[in-house]
Amino acid sequence: MIYIDCAPECADSIENIIATELGCGGWHQLETDHRHLGCEIRKRAVSVSNGDKNFEFVLEVKIIGGNLMSARPEHRNRVGLKDRVLTEFGKRISLETAGFKILEAFHNKEKTTITFITTSP
């Protein structure tokens, strides 16, 4: 079973992917209630560099119940960093790498720059 969490308006797009990419002839839609925990978004500006160029980026990390050990980067923030690194530096990074770099900078307040080394092929 594959569970996909998406907004209702995305169902047709998801259905298309299920049919074309997975070859499935049907799927089940489950209705659930989303229970929100005491979450807050903490933000912090950092510089992102490849050694030659820099850009400013705002980290967005979700904290649950005030517990810093629960910190996790917001998905849209991972995507934003990934896309900016590609646009600004021509370097592809994974969402996992983006999340790691965001959390590393968030937890280390002395770290004001996230660095990506770009090398020639």
Q: Minimum mean pLDDT among 27-36, 69-78, 104-113: which range?
A: 27-36
More confident: 10 or 54? 54
pLDDT confidence bin for 78, thresholds 50/70/90: very high
pTM (two decimals): 0.71
More confident: 33 or 52? 52
* Domains recognised in the chain with CATH numbers: 1-35 (no CATH), 39-115 (3.10.20)
pLDDT confidence bin for 22, thresholds 50/70/90: confident
Written in H, E and C, the secondary structure of 49-87 is ECCCCEEEEEEEEEEECCEEEEEEECHHHHHHHHHHHHH
User: Both tokens of residue 119?
Assistant: 């090398």
More confident: 56 or 31? 56
Q: Given this model, what pLDDT does residue 88 score? A: 95
- Number of other CB atoms surrounding residue 60 within 10 Å: 19
